[in-house]
Amino acid sequence: MFTKDIYENRRQELKKLVSDGIIIILGNADVSMSYPANIFEFRQDSSFLYYFGLSHPNYAGVIDVDNDKDYIFANDFDIDDIIWMGPQPSVKDLSAKVGVESTAEFSEFSILIKKAISEGKKIHYLPPYRAKNTILLADVLDMKVSDVKPNASEELIKASVKLRSIKSDIEVAEIEKACEIGYMMHTTAMKLAKPGTMESEIAGRIEGLAISFGKMISFPVILSQNGQTLHNHDHSQELEEGRLLLVDCGAENAMNYCSDNTRTLPVGGKFSDKQKAVYNICLKANKECIKAVKPGIKYRDIHFLAAKIIVDGLKEIGIMKGDTDKAVAEGAHTLFMPHGLGHMMGLDVHDMEDYGENFVGYDEETTRSEQFGTAYLRLARELQEGFVLTVEPGIYFIPELTAKFKSEGKFTDFINYDLLEKEYKNFGGIRIEDDILVTKDGSRVLGIPIPKTVEEIEIFMAE
Ligand code: GLY
């Protein structure tokens, strides 16, 4: 946990950005796996962590903008809990650590909110993403469950995006700790990527590594020889010499800050010439885009820089043809990279995605494209110093998408379908992802450099 002034300042800043009323920041409750007491690992809500810092289930935070007062509502443990869980700190003691003096039982939360509603106060809350909090809000706000999310406070969302988007030095230091765990996960995967090993063994070992540092993975491990499936959580294949293994994983550090990297490895340790050629196109896009990151540039423009590098590279090996700018403008590159170049990262691996992607990745000047592929961009807006984001170009050979585009007669001026179908059907996919801090005049890659070039990966895997 940070010192209490950090949380006090964050709540003060939020009060300055929200005109009036009451702000609700709900913590998370435990989630059951197979019967009520058999629970998943607890993960606190990231906004609650940001403003109230405490990682305990069944807490609610309230910020009274009008009266400049902050509250925490939670129940103290009784002797029955203590028998099973050991001695527990009191809600009062914990709340004092984050600068909140006013605490009360959880049941008082709805009493305070209902009173505020009866007094005509504005109630601000963030869009809930867990059923229990949605139902709690529906009950407290006397609303239909289906009305809760659409009525979340846009004013609060925008204010919180403004604050959470800019990472302070102490937050960046926490993210770097998460990156260090990520480094160990990736280099462990590199050591284990040998023919005959099951994907599930590597996925399990690297997930265990994340857990061994006290928290957990920042998202379910993506690890597959079928890397053309963008988020492949199926780990049921045995590794085969000569195939590519895409590993996309990250960890949360002790304070729930995240990392997220992707590397693509040759099973057995040596890239073929064909793999090397495609890999180096993706690597060039990764490196050039990192170089292009700076305050004031729109991330969508960097996304299109990646697209152009990929089209130019694929033209050199005969898969694409024609005018690069025209190919990108028409969206031909989306056959190979049907996703955005990256996303914001912080307390969530897709930072604040629960608020709504358009609030986080877009702004008044940057609206979402409707073109296939480009419409999926999570981050398009102008970058600012202090943003932490991922740069993750990819080149994928998705047979189903190739067949669809071909049957629709799409992009025949730009794509050599014959070569694709003859030689790249079973190629898989490549993604190379780093975590980047936007600095005053450029960017900095966070964490320990994970082997990334063909040579670095081959040397590391041979050791
Ligand atoms: N790296 C996984 C994701 O961005 O969802």
pLDDT tens-digit profile, the chain (463 residues): 999 999 999 999 999 999 999 999 999 999 999 999 999 999 999 999 999 999 999 999 999 999 999 999 999 999 998 999 899 999 999 999 999 999 999 999 999 999 999 999 999 999 999 999 999 999 999 999 999 999 999 999 999 999 999 999 999 999 999 999 999 999 999 999 999 999 999 999 999 999 999 999 999 999 999 999 999 899 999 999 999 999 999 999 999 999 999 999 999 999 999 999 999 999 999 999 999 999 999 999 999 999 999 999 999 999 999 999 999 999 999 999 999 999 999 999 999 999 999 999 999 899 999 999 999 999 999 999 999 999 999 999 999 999 999 999 999 999 999 999 999 999 999 999 999 999 999 999 999 999 999 999 999 999 8
d(CA 339, ligand 1 centre) in Å: 11
Rounded distance, CA 131 to CA 133, Å? 6
- Ligand 1 pocket mutation, candidates 179, 229, 349, criterion most atoms within 8 A of CB: 349
Residues in CB range of 213: below 8 A, 6 or more apart: 181, 251, 253, 254
Q: In the CATH scheme, what is the homologous superfamily, with its name and number, of domain 169-462?
A: Creatinase/methionine aminopeptidase superfamily (3.90.230.10)
d(CA 113, ligand 1 centre) in Å: 36
- Segments of the chain assigned to CATH 3.40.350.10: 4-164
In ligand 1, the atom with minimum distance to the C-alpha of 262 is: 1
> What is the third-level CATH fold of 4-164?
Creatine Amidinohydrolase; Chain A, domain 1 (3.40.350)
Residues with CB under 6 A from ligand 1: 219, 248, 260, 343
Q: Which amino acid is at 308?
A: K
In ligand 1, the atom with minimum distance to the C-alpha of 248 is: 1
d(CA 91, ligand 1 centre) in Å: 35
d(CA 235, ligand 1 centre) in Å: 16
- Segments of the chain assigned to CATH 3.90.230.10: 169-462
Rounded distance, CA 113 to CA 119, Å? 10
d(CA 228, ligand 1 centre) in Å: 14
In ligand 1, the atom with minimum distance to the C-alpha of 390 is: 4
- Ligand 1 pocket mutation, candidates 218, 230, 231, criterion most atoms within 8 A of CB: 231
d(CA 23, ligand 1 centre) in Å: 30
**What secondary structure, in 3-state letters, does 173-186 show?**
HHHHHHHHHHHHHH
